[in-house]
Structure 1
Amino acid sequence: MAERSSTLVTASPGACLQRQRHRQWLSGCDGATFEALVERYGAALAQLPARPARVLLLEPRPYRFLAALLAAVAADCHVFLGNPCWGQRERAQVGRWVQPDLTLGALPLAPRTGGEPRPAIAARAARVAIPTGGSSGALRFALHSWETLMAAAAGFARYWGGVPAHTLDVLPLYHVSGLMPFLRALVTGGQFAAMPFKALTPQRRAAIAPEGQFLSLVPLQLQRLLEAGAGTWLARFRAVLLGGAPASAELLAAARAQRIPLAPSYGMTETAAQVAALAPAAFGAGCNSSGGALPHARITVRDGSGAVLPPGRTGTIAIRASSLYLGYYGESGSPPDPFLSDDRGYLDAAGRLHWVGRRSQTILTGGESVAPEEVEAALLETGLVSEACVVGLPDPVWGQAVAAAYIPRSPQVTTERLRAAIARGLSACKRPKTWLALERLPRTDRGKRDRTRIAQLLERGRS
């Protein structure tokens, strides 16, 4: 098993495709057609004069997206994964920052200009830049190598016994949570199907035989499926991997009652998705943790000074893993060792991780990370408000809901006007669901915005 895991880590995109040749492993796309797409993208990339070229991948069609990714890695390009549904604010930021040599997809971006230097990427080998939310208020790209992504896939394979990772993927491919299921299937010889979550209608679910397959969901999606009466269908999967945000005890109890083989997990963009997972049998027996570390990772919990805390003590979740990212695009330095996450949790006596929540003000809503500062900046840019404060409110469906308190510049400024003003500039997940107009924002004795008090006012306003 260890020898096979080592082979997975070193396998190139071409070698992975070679092993899948003559298998009908892609649902809705013939294997030969997929390989031809990879070759066609590879030929286009070979014509680019820049070495290594920077490619921005915004292709909305899943198998074209994946074929372009494999071709870019094989050609030693630096490939930036992008959301085809980005708002104007995000599009403008990425266009100025990345200045791609080639954009694949229909999304218009500002053209590259020779007078604006691009942040350097020291490596000559391919880097896969995966977008991630942060507490700085700006989009960040975590840089991975093909080897770090393969290390994550190999660790997953070892944890689940080395069997082919047959997968139904309903998460966005530009997210690490949507990308890694494809790579796991690719390197383990598994079958793979991609479709938007919204396409999982009762009719579509009836046509899918989930036996032996993995399905990854965020808590919001699991709740939606349970509300739609899909519990019996979910119970037929080999495992339903749940991550992206801590799940409520009520949601976990509902899944357990319907005998869903849930595998609560923990990971992030910086770790190439999962570094911990709970076996479905342990979940069924009543455990609500995120499980123990996968074979390629080691997890500790640290206090403010960096000291390792004993079991049961809550602190910062720290990670060492062969799948760890290599740094952030445009930022100098390598990740600290160990990598200190933005999350708080504790380990129990059996070494299982219990994820408590965030350390920073970053909002986790429906599996998406939202930086309050970015939403606040978008509100101020409308010119309709003099001040704004954005917080996350506890929500039984979304985990957290984005909420905004603001000071209008005139009595004519309404919530409806603000909604319309930011609609084109921000992705839907970043737009506030709760609004509150105030004459002034509460402040602490040091003059800072009192986010706790503001959250209380917003909570009171929505009840």
Structure 2
Amino acid sequence: MASKSMEILDYIKGQNDYWLIGSDRFHFQQLFEKLYLELLTYKTPQKILLAEREPVRFLAGFIAACAANCRVFLCNPDWGKQEWQEVFNLVQPNLILGDGDSGGWSKIVYVPLRGSEVAHGGDPQDRAGLPLPMPSSQLPIPNTIMIPTGGSSGKIKFAIHTWDTLMASVKGFTEYFQLNQVNSFCVLPLYHVSGLMQFMRSFTTGGKLAIFPFKQVESSPIYHLEPSEFFISLVPTQLQRLLQNPDLTAWLSQFKTVLLGGAPAWNELLEKARFSRIRLAPTYGMTETASQIATVKPDDFLNGKISSGQILPHVQITICNEKGDILKSNQKGNIIIKSQSLALGYYPEIWKNQDYLQVDDLGFLDNDGHLNIVGRSSNKIITGGENVYPIEIESAIRATQMVNDVCVIGIPDKQWGQAITAIYIPKKAEISSLEIQKILKDKLCKFKIPKHWIPVSTLPRNTQGKINQQQLQEIATNVLQMYFKSPPNNNTNSP
């Protein structure tokens, strides 16, 4: 642990004066030193909730916690009261690092809670009026980094990572792109793995890190840096919005690489990016793998390559059937991941087998060894005995160019088992579902065309573009119940 702390401190010392673009590097240094020395006064490593909204304070708190061998939980400052209570019950923290605007949990940078009273004295108060449980002794690994993931259910979990698992991801990234230094332009939340890993790549390779709110980027291109030197990471909805502005499209086309992940991208969006000569690199990865494990290289993308990407050097992927037999190229099955970047478990449980991870996604390896995602096993819809994957139907609906966004789910159906239901945002109010269905008849089998169509103004996506499946089901159930006195079945007309 001491050597790990020295490694982190060496990275701090090795930074040049201009590594943080748009922020004060010396302010970062001061904040880091203050917090690091404070954390060293404790006799045992602390459990810390990091809920900083301001990027420099977040990064200083993160590095200080890692260097002091603490367990740090990255938190979304915009969680609601119920979500914070859920996190408190799960984590039972010793300390909070907050910016005074994070759900009312703290108004100063450093707040001691129960369990640290003996060391620091005082009577800590919970400013949100919620009970604070005593710290637990679970998870005996001190220097762990807990990264939140909600999956498709929306329920908060923390994937357990270490400095080593994150560094394995950094090494795989630099080897894949053949880089010594990584310059990152970050518009994604730092508490999310997609934002955190942009920092890790730049910080540990001596590269530059530019951090800007996406709203600022969306309003005007950032002209005081050279895009050709930087990687920028976006989610599909962000890319879609930037491509609607010719000036931003031209600016985006100047970047060294535009990493695209967080949620599946649709063909229309990819074609528009290719037409605009965006050096796009669609990626596949997740919180549990410390970000991307498969990526399409920009030149391959511009030349028309369509897949989830080539496997990064630090990863091995096999495709297996339900019996565990390894499948050949172009055979669809379960994705099995082996990598040193894998999480150790979900807090507070350590996985018994850490050698591999079987994910919910289904896919295949093509003849070039590139990964192709078919869909999520848990999202599979079984209608009339047929297996249907929403991603195929969503792609076909988007191709009609009549919707701004769409999600497809299965709703319980008495006769068919599940009825395919499309929840969509029409491009124009006058567009009817019948117009869309007419086009789909030439593109999809009859049983794949949704039986129910629900127009909405927004879809429940998070900042990474991932959809909340639980909320989708609630939307569909509530809307359909308004139209039908009994549960929907195949004899009912779509609303």
Q: Do both share a fold (TM > 0.5)?
A: yes
- Equivalent in the alignment of 2:454: none
- Equivalent in the alignment of 1:152: 169
- Equivalent in the alignment of 2:352: 334
Give the whole-Å Cα distance in 1 for the aligned partners of 2:6 and 2:275: 41
Give the whole-Å Cα distance in 2 for the aligned partners of 1:82 and 1:204: 29
Bigger Cα displacement from structure 2, 349-358 vs 54-63: 349-358
- Equivalent in the alignment of 1:83: 76
Give the whole-Å Cα distance in 1 for the aligned partners of 2:267 and 2:153: 31
1:403 Cα shift? 11
Give the whole-Å Cα distance in 2 for the aligned partners of 1:220 and 1:427: 10
Aligned partner of residue 120 in structure 1, secondary structure = coil
1:134 Cα shift? 3.6
Contact 1:135/1:362 (<8 A) preserved: no
Contact 1:127/1:146 (<8 A) preserved: yes
Aligned partner of residue 354 in structure 1, secondary structure = strand
Aligned partner of residue 256 in structure 1, secondary structure = helix
Instruction: Render the CA deviation track for 1:301-340: whole Å, top value 9, x for unaligned.
Output: 1211222211111112211111111111022433453211
Name the % identity: 41
Contact 2:228/2:255 (<8 A) preserved: yes
Contact 1:246/1:399 (<8 A) preserved: no
- Equivalent in the alignment of 1:350: 368
Cα distance, 1:337–1:169 mapped onto 2, change above 3 Å: same
Contact 2:257/2:279 (<8 A) preserved: yes
Aligned partner of residue 34 in structure 1, secondary structure = helix
- The one of 227, 246, 257 equivalent to 2:264 is 246
Give the whole-Å Cα distance in 1 for the aligned partners of 2:227 and 2:479: 45
1:205 Cα shift? 3.2
The count of corresponding residues between Structure 1 and Structure 2 is 390
1:57 Cα shift? 0.5
- Equivalent in the alignment of 1:225: 242
1:279 Cα shift? 0.8
1:427 Cα shift? 7.4
Contact 1:252/1:288 (<8 A) preserved: no
After TM superposition, the structure 1 = structure 2 runs for residues 185-204 of structure 1, keeping only pairs within 5 Å, are: 185-204=202-221
- Equivalent in the alignment of 1:19: 14
Please list every run of 5 or more consecutive structure 1 residues that lacks an aligned counterpart in the other structure: 1-8, 364-390, 406-425, 444-449
- The one of 5, 10, 23 equivalent to 1:29 is 23
Determine which structure has greater relative contact order: mean sequence separation of CA pairs < 8 Å that are 6+ residues apart, divided by chain length: 1
The higher radius of gyration belongs to: 2
Give the whole-Å Cα distance in 2 for the aligned partners of 1:184 and 1:82: 20
- Equivalent in the alignment of 2:132: 112
Give the whole-Å Cα distance in 1 for the aligned partners of 2:283 and 2:276: 19
- Equivalent in the alignment of 2:47: 54
Which amino acid in 2 is paired with 1:321?
Answer: S
Aligned partner of residue 43 in structure 1, secondary structure = helix
Give the whole-Å Cα distance in 1 for the aligned partners of 2:239 and 2:333: 28
1:93 Cα shift? 0.3
Which amino acid in 2 is paired with 1:267?
Answer: G
Give the whole-Å Cα distance in 2 for the aligned partners of 1:441 and 1:67: 56
- Equivalent in the alignment of 1:73: 66
1:213 Cα shift? 0.5
RMSD of the alignment, in Å?
A: 3.1
Which amino acid in 1 is paired with 2:59?
Answer: L
Which amino acid in 1 is paired with 2:12?
Answer: L
After TM superposition, the structure 1 = structure 2 runs for residues 53-452 of structure 1, keeping only pairs within 5 Å, are: 53-105=46-98, 106=100, 107=102, 108=105, 110-114=130-134, 118=136, 120-124=138-142, 126-134=143-151, 138-229=155-246, 230-335=248-353, 337-361=355-379, 394=394, 396=398, 397-398=404-405, 400=407, 430=468, 436-438=479-481, 442=487
Cα distance, 1:165–1:225 mapped onto 2, change above 3 Å: same
Which amino acid in 2 is paired with 1:39?
Answer: E
Aligned partner of residue 357 in structure 1, secondary structure = strand
Bigger Cα displacement from structure 2, 286-295 vs 265-274: 286-295
Please report the TM-score for the alignment, with normalisation by the length of structure 1: 0.77
Contact 2:183/2:231 (<8 A) preserved: yes
Give the whole-Å Cα distance in 2 for the aligned partners of 1:84 and 1:323: 26
Instruction: Render the CA deviation track for 1:394-428: whole Å, top value 9, x for unaligned.
Output: 474556389999xxxxxxxxxxxxxxxxxxxx979
Please list every run of 5 or more consecutive structure 2 residues that lacks an aligned counterpart in the other structure: 106-127, 382-389, 399-403, 413-460
1:198 Cα shift? 1.6
Please report the TM-score for the alignment, with normalisation by the length of structure 2: 0.72
Aligned partner of residue 93 in structure 1, secondary structure = helix
